[in-house]
Chains A and B, each alone.
Chain A
Amino acid sequence: MINRSLKLPISLKVSISIFIVFWLIIAAFPFIWTLWGSFKIEADFFSKADWMNALFAPRTIAEKGGAFTGDGYYGAWVQENFWQAVINTTLVCFFVVGTSLTIGTLGGYALSRSSYKYTFWLLITALIFRAMPPITLVAGYLLPFYEWNLWGHLATTVIVLVAINQPFTLWMLHSFFQKIPKELDESAKVDGCTQFQAFRHVIIPVMWPGVITTGLFSFLLAYNDFAITSMLLSQNNQTMVPKIASFMGTTQTEGNVMFAVAAVVSTTAPLFIMVMFFQRQIVSGLTAGAVKG
């Protein structure tokens, strides 16, 4: 690769660099801009007079005495109880990832170790389920959930998210388990282990890279979901994303769009950190399905 890039003519090199810079600006600038703007007041971040106001913040200085203000964050976290949504999201994500990995590894392992034809049909069914937009299922949930008073609780949402997550988890873990040689657990079974013992003592110790990658995607699904969480959670139990959407309804009239800006930054920050630490796993997860298929 390196000697090939050395051979690039200078004009091509320059245009590639320009393109990359252009793409990086498109990809990252909106986030940096929003982060910067979240510390201003609305009159500066949304300035009719001059966009430079968002940079130098004359109104923020005039009103708050400094170029940066934490008012948006205070408003969102304290006044509008965004902290509650943060706790809810943490709970939902933790239980979704935990449950979906537990039942997903069992299922994915079984699929990879059985040679009967029905495993194929199960995988095809999972693929069909994976294609269903989650919002189309919501109408089916609401009636029984109302009848049995299950609507609005975090636990219900966790179970629904786990189920919606299963098809993807199964496919991913299935392909990871297929890379673990069958001889490993076969030999354990020859030594007298049951299938479950072989799984417990031989497979679990070596499966972690695949499980961590799959876990990251389960986490992302739970963290980013809007369709299910906005429909199935009551006001008090809302997670961060539907909470932000509800800000849009209430705060725009009060001129407090900055609450929403601050909430968006607060929600995005953990994702940034996650990508920073798990970039390699995310990339390998995205490509796992593709390269295999």
Chain B
Amino acid sequence: MDRLLEERLFKVLMLSSLTMVVGSLFAVVAVVVLNGAPALTPSMLTQTPKGGYYLGKEGGILNAIIGSIYLAFGSVLLALLISIPAALSLQRDYIKKTKVAYSIRLSLDVLWGTPSIVYGAFGFTVMLYLGMRASLLGGIIVLTLLQIPIMIRAIDETVKLVPAELKETSYALGTTRFETTFKIVIIQVLPGIATAVLLAFGRSIGDAASILFTAGYTDNIPGSLLDPAASLPLAIFFQLGTPFPEVQQRAYASALVLLVIVLVVSVASRALGQRFSKHILR
């Protein structure tokens, strides 16, 4: 084949592929907005399901919105408590053998690929073993497991970028390892933490498979950690599964709510990442 013709042919192919990929994003957003917006009424956002809601009667998905927010915030907090120390300890200062740090990183990267349904099944098994019922706490714990690899690796990537000179300067002033880590290094890592938090938040608020058995579902707003909690993804799933068009409409509206939350978080993570970086030395 003529090489210039080939060049042109592939350029067209590449451009059309890219158009299709980007187009599919707009298609997803457009379809969800167009179908969801008409069904999205104020009462959907401010009321919990009333009797007969799933048959098309009065009510809203406030239970699911609040439940999702509880689940996401709870799990992000818990995951942070584990991830920040874990990511900081992957530094040379703590783990002397690079091989150990290397294998922990590798195992986290591999864990990242674990499907959430497997976490869900695992979490439910453990909960059965401990005699726990499906609850907000169960959902939070499973979502935490889901987030740990994402968070640690995201924070770790920024910890790696902290210049060794900075740490040495700090040590030279007579600080302990602990002070250097939690007063010097952590400031450099803040943008990484912010990005990690939002990344994990977005992932956990949208995940359904892991909380299907562990968080349960209820029409009430959970009052304690041991109550079952509703969630937006499952609300969408259940409403879509009913045979009534009015209820399915509400599923579209709920999907729109979820999509907006996720997109806002995603855009915010970008903006915040840049904002926090003003203290960073490079």
Physical interaction between A and B: no
